[in-house]
A = this chain, B = another copy of it.
Amino acid sequence: MDLERSPLALPFPEMPSIAGVVPRVARAGYKDWGRCDLTYVELAEGTAVAGVFTRNVCCSSEVELGREQVRAGRAHALVVNAGNSNAFTGYRGREAVEAIMTQVAEHLGCPQTEVFVSSTGVIGVPLPKDKARAGIAAALEADACSWEEAAATIGTTDTFPKGAIARAVIGDTTVTLSAIIKGSGMIAPDMATMLGYVFTDAAVEPAFLQRLLSEANERTFSCITVDSDTSTSDTVLAFATGKAGNAPLASFDDPGADAFAAALHDVCRQLAHLVVRDGEGARKFIEVAVTGAVSDESARKVGLAVANSPLVKTAIAGEDANWGRVVMAVGKAGEPADRDRLSIGFGGHWTARDGLPLADYDEAPVAEHLRGSEIAIAVDLGLGDGRATVWTCDLTHDYIAINADYRS
């Protein structure tokens, strides 16, 4: 199935190389598709690493091993396989990952635990060890590639390569973050999974990097949804080579830590938005801003209930200012809400306030807003100071076409 480039796609940004990071790609041939499908990124010795992983309890061996590996805090290489997720493959799948780790560790002369592996694609088929072995051998001898080539190679059903950059000043040193991601549904287990990687030349202690990544994740990747289905392989890793030469960041007391945290949050937000922009069948990018909740976490849950509602998402696809469906979704979230304090708006215009449709509601500017491709939904609960913003896309015929008409 050839997928058209998403109408919400953004051009790939100018992405600088990061000192201590060398990406390469090769053809392992995990599928019969005549394209590169193995990405190998070599990282300078001593690179700090942090990670966040899917909470799906049926996760892949890659995720299980990755969770253990980030605890040690150091990385020397990353391998990403596209075309086979290696999930639900039991001991044979785990052996395939360990074989990759051994092969790369022997080449680099580093501990096996410093080699990180991710896989994305079909479920239930053990990753073929021979193809992986030959693919890695080819990658080790390949020339360095561009970020755009690496971003394209980790993709599966993605319709455009996705990258983001940010910079921060630490003391008198400017550090750079270059990041890539793949994902097109939050998941389609035989086709897609969200995998994201942030590379920076900043010097950051692993424990602090983990804290910053976890915090950024809560307000970015954990605030997007395409179809409410959570992958068995979702992974975001951050690598900090330290080659920029700044005084290493270990806590928020260190000068520049706030700036670095902001830059990390910025690239994570950009990557999260890019995944939504490539959501399966997406024609509209939707932001749901929830205010007045009893807490930020409560606001996030209300926002996700709205963003996951198929009836809200089809209404937006139909350019219908159907605020009744938003009311319904708020009410089913299981969070504190009071029907008679609830306000709903689209594109900066309230349609209902304090539990009643607006008496002088003018539909024209709202209808105009809904004809666009960037949709803003506002929900004010009128209860407290909790707020959150979540992002999703509309639910269209193409989502059904991609997931029902296509046979794996």
B327 touches A58 (CB 8 A): yes
Bound Cα distance from A315 to B185, whole angstroms: 14
A404/B318 contact (C-beta < 8 A), A229-B310, A230-B328, A327-B58 known? yes
A230 touches B332 (CB 8 A): yes
A323 touches B124 (CB 8 A): yes
B404 touches A315 (CB 8 A): yes
Residues of B within 8 A of A17 (CB): none
B403 touches A315 (CB 8 A): yes
A230 touches B331 (CB 8 A): yes
A189 touches B397 (CB 8 A): no
**Of A109-117, A145-153, A167-175, A335-343, the one touching chain B:** A335-343
A227 touches B89 (CB 8 A): no
Copies of this chain, tallied across the complex = 2
- Asked if A53 is an interface residue, CB under 8 A from chain B, the answer is no
A58/B189 contact (C-beta < 8 A), A311-B227, A403-B318, A407-B318 known? no
Residues of B within 8 A of A89 (CB): 356-357
- Asked if A123 is an interface residue, CB under 8 A from chain B, the answer is yes
Q: How distant is A28 from chain B, measured CB to nearest CB, in Å?
A: 21
Residues of B within 8 A of A308 (CB): 228
Residues of B within 8 A of A395 (CB): 400, 404
B329 touches A229 (CB 8 A): yes
A190/B324 contact (C-beta < 8 A), A57-B331, A58-B331, A342-B58 known? yes
A228 touches B185 (CB 8 A): no
- Asked if A188 is an interface residue, CB under 8 A from chain B, the answer is yes
A310 touches which one: B227, B232, B323 (CB < 8 A)? B227
Residues of B within 8 A of A327 (CB): 58, 87-88, 123-124, 189, 232
A328 touches which one: B56, B332, B407 (CB < 8 A)? B56
B185 touches A332 (CB 8 A): no
- Encode contact with B along A349-386: 1 for CB under 8 Å, 0 otherwise: 00010011100000000000000000000000000000
Bound Cα distance from A387 to B159, whole angstroms: 41
Bound Cα distance from A187 to B310, whole angstroms: 10
- Asked if A90 is an interface residue, CB under 8 A from chain B, the answer is yes
Residues of B within 8 A of A314 (CB): 399-400, 403-404
* Interface set of A (CB-CB < 8 Å, partner B): 55-59, 87-90, 122-125, 185, 187-190, 227-232, 308-311, 314-315, 317-318, 320, 322-325, 327-332, 336-340, 342, 352, 355-357, 394-397, 399-401, 403-408
Nearest first, the 5 A-B pairs at minimum CB distance are A123-B324, A58-B331, A314-B403, A318-B404, A56-B331
Other A-B pairs, 7, CB within 8 Å; known A88-B327, A123-B325, A230-B328: A57-B336, A58-B328, A58-B337, A189-B325, A189-B327, A317-B400, A396-B404
